[in-house]
Amino acid sequence: MSYQVLARKWRPRKFAELVGQEHVVRALTNALDSGRMHHAYLFTGTRGVGKTTIARIFAKSLNCERGESADPCGECAVCTAVDAGRFVDLLEIDAASNTGVDDVREVIENAQYAPARGRFKVYLVDEVHMLSKPAFNALLKTLEEPPPHVKFLLATTDPQKLPVTVLSRCLRFNLKRLLPDQIAGQMRHILGAEHIDFDDQAIAELSRAADGSMRDGLSLLDQAIAYGGGALKAAEVRAMLGSVERGQVLGLLGALATGDGQALMAECARIASFSPDFGSVLDDLAAALHRIQLLQLVPGYRLDQNDGDDPVLADLAERMTPEDVQLYYQIATAGRRDLALAPDTRTGFEMALLRMLAFRPGDGATPVAASGGQRPTAPSHPSAAPSAPAAAPAQGARPVTPPHSTSASPARENTAAAAPPAAPVQRIANPGGLPDWEALIQRADLRGPIGQLAQNSALRGREGQTLVLALQPTHMHLAVEPIIGQIADRLSEVMGEPIRLRFVEDSQGAAHTPAARAAEARSVAQSAAEASIEGDPLVQALKREFGARVVPQSIKPIES
């Protein structure tokens, strides 16, 4: 019998076999057990987290010969047909290759007919966001009033591209990225059942490389088994992934902590000899810095049970200042993005480390050259240095209202995440030395609902890593999750640091928003166009000779 890849062989066939996504399983289980089922479900999430798997299990639950149940038998003709991909009443449509309106019309026409074998005809539309606009329009009527024997299960990795008219007709479930521990646990279960020897460190490397996707993790596991000749060894997995041992990453940080450039370059050369993925090494470096910062600032908090017992991490946490750790983290993440711009990846990697060696947080003075192999004491450029945390006010004190607020009543606030009260907002034109708010909107490519909120906001100031944005009272309803979180994520990417947003109601301070400036520019252009037409000699002659008149609404300025 031909070999079946692990991702297909170990694909869950019951809700109980799913790893993670308990919130989705609970909702669907309750709906099936109570008989309160919606006609259209939308499953969203990154690749390989179980969207189509859940949809197929749901189709079995609806049509199992032993009755509708959250626990299909898995043995009847219907269940086995669904598992084999040949159940006639489960129609799987790949929207990526069937985007046209004709494909959707065929679905709609067939939906009116009763199921051939089961109780329900189930349409599973994968990557539904790829449908064209006419196809969505054709689908809307059926989504709104489907036949009683039809269920629609839609799956997508990009729900923002779906029309709101489709979203409003579906029950939406957001599937979470899986944690490394969840992926590692499933890998251990599979390897035990397959009687394959493995190292725990090898599993840890693979589960991190899976990046939240169980399917990607099992594909890497298949590759690692083949690479290792039927066994999993940590050294071989690292060689396959292009990763390095944790000790080598900590060696880099040790050299940085002592300001020893010679030792730093020696560690770089040692790592380069393994031909690693330098982007992954910078990721590992950032992860180690994260753990060090937790040891420094949140004593007792553990990402896993081994964090507090690592003497090297504890030693680095003592030797490095929290400000240095923050700066190193920012340089590591920015260097990760800049690797593609470097002459070669090793050069980009080494320059990121040399930047850590050359700079440190300070008052914004220009850095000076190091002497005697020691790290320079001058601070870095202000755009690279993290803002110092503001002192929290006394218990019971209210956050300080920005001095330039003109609102008579206390400001209403919406935030992307809870944050401690900060110092008064400082007026800034270009936060952190970066472009202005309108330029940030363009760089972050904020469009659609998130773009509407951003365009109607005015940047009032910055509190550490929190941007304070003013909104007109009539626009405060736009500042809701998940829109705030999406804007914060986009801005964090382009600014190279984690960014939070805080919205305050300010009828006058929010007057000069990008949207207001654009409206003013359009008004000026319209007035200029109308004046130009009115002053045109030919138009004036037509008005004199024939009594013609200009219809203002017909005049449109020429767009540059």
**Predicted confidence (pLDDT) per residue in 321-349, tens digit:** 999 999 999 999 999 999 989 999 999 99
14 and 163 co-located in one domain: yes
- Same domain, residue pair 144 and 21: yes
Paired with 121 in beta bridges are 150
**Phi-psi category of residue 195: left, alpha or beta, with phi > 0 → left and psi -120 to 50 → alpha:** left
Assess whether 520 and 487 both reside in one domain. Answer: no
Q: Are residues 204 and 261 in the same domain?
A: no
Q: Which residue has the higher pLDDT, 415 or 94?
A: 94
List the one residue out of 86, 144, 148 whose CA is nearest residue 111: 148
Last residue of a domain, which of 327, 358, 389? Answer: 358
Q: What is the overall mean pLDDT for the chain?
A: 81
Report if residue 193 sits inside a domain.
Answer: yes
Residue 114 clears pLDDT 50, i.e. is over it = yes
Out of 216, 241, 266, pick the residue that ends a domain.
241
Q: Does residue 389 lie within any of the structural domains?
A: no
Instruction: Kindly report, residue by residue over 67-113, the tens digit of the pLDDT.
Output: 888 999 989 999 999 988 889 999 888 887 776 777 788 888 888 88
Contact 488/501 with Cβ under 8 angstroms? yes
Given this model, what pLDDT does residue 145 score?
A: 84
> Is there a contact between 494 and 406 (Cβ–Cβ < 8 Å)?
no
Residues 437 and 542 in one domain: no
Helices 483-495 and 448-455 sit at what angle, rounded to 10 degrees? 80
Same domain assignment for residues 198 and 102: no
Q: Is residue 229 part of a domain?
A: yes
The total domain count for the chain is: 5
Cβ atoms 463, 432 nearer than 8 A? no
Residue 515 confidence (pLDDT): 84
Which CATH number does the domain housing residue 37 bear? 3.40.50.300
122 shares its domain with 12: yes
Q: What pLDDT score does 362 carry? A: 57
In a domain, 208, yes or no: yes
- Beta-strand pair 121-126/150-156: parallel
Question: Does residue 338 sit in helix, strand or coil?
Answer: helix
> Which tokens sit at 558?
């020429």
The DSSP letter of residue 372 is: T
Same domain, 289 and 224: no
Positive or negative, the CA dihedral 88, 92, 97, 98 is positive
Query: Could you tell me if residue 370 is inside a domain?
Result: no
| Whole-number Å distance between alpha carbons of 243 and 40 | 43
The distance between the two most distant Cα atoms of the chain, rounded to a whole number of Å, is 97
Decide if 244 contacts 274 (C-beta within 8 A): yes
Per-residue pLDDT at 326: 92
Using one digit for the tens of pLDDT, what is the confidence trace for 68-78?
889 999 899 99
CATH of the domain at 197: 1.10.8.60
User: Tell me: the pLDDT tens digits for 454-478?
Assistant: 888 888 888 888 999 888 887 787 7
Q: Which residues of 492-530 are buried (b: 16+ CB within 10 A; e: fewer)?
A: bebbbbbbbbbbbbbeebbeebbbeeeeeeeeeeeeeee
* Same domain? 350 vs 432: no
- pLDDT over 70 percentage in the chain: 83
Confidence band (pLDDT; 50, 70, 90) for 289? very high
The CA-atom distances, in angstroms, between 349 and each of 39, 266, 337, 343 are 52, 14, 11, 11
Q: What span, in angstroms and rounded, lies between the C-alpha atoms of 455 and 487?
A: 11
Q: Are 214 and 187 in contact (CB under 8 A)?
A: no
Shared domain for 262 and 349, answered yes or no, is yes
Which one is predicted more confidently, 372 or 150? 150
CB–CB of 390/320 below 8 Å? no
Do the domain assignments include residue 368? no
**Model confidence at 374: pLDDT above 70:** no
CATH of the domain at 492: 3.30.300.150
Buried/exposed 162-194: b ≥16 CB within 10 Å, e otherwise: beeebeebbeebebbbbebebbbebbeeebeee
Please give the pLDDT value at position 302. 67
What ranges in 228-343 are assigned the alpha helix state H?
Answer: 234-241, 246-258, 261-272, 278-297, 311-319, 322-338
**Is the confidence at residue 396, as pLDDT, over 90?**
no
Q: Whole-model pTM above 0.85?
A: no
Q: Is the pLDDT of residue 383 over 70?
A: no
Q: What is the mean pLDDT of residues 230-237?
A: 87
Three-state SS for 181-216 is HHHHHHHHHHHHHHCCCECHHHHHHHHHHCCCCHHH
* 182-210 tens-digit pLDDT: 999 999 999 999 999 998 989 988 998 88
Span 44-70, mean pLDDT?
Answer: 90
Reduced to 3 states (helix: H, G, I; strand: E, B; else coil), residue 462 is: strand
Verify that 161 and 189 share a domain, yes or no: no
Domain interval for residue 184: 180-241
Per-residue pLDDT reduced to its tens digit, 534-545: 888 888 888 888
Task: Tell me: do 10 and 124 sit in the same domain.
Answer: yes
Residue 508 belongs to some domain of the structure: yes
Angle between helices 537-546 and 514-535 (to 10 degrees): 60
Task: For residue 385, tell me if it sits in a domain.
Answer: no
Question: Where among 174, 191, 216 does a domain terminate?
Answer: 174
503: which strand partners? 414, 469
**CATH code: domain of residue 264:** 1.20.272.10
Distance CA 140, CA 121 (A): 18
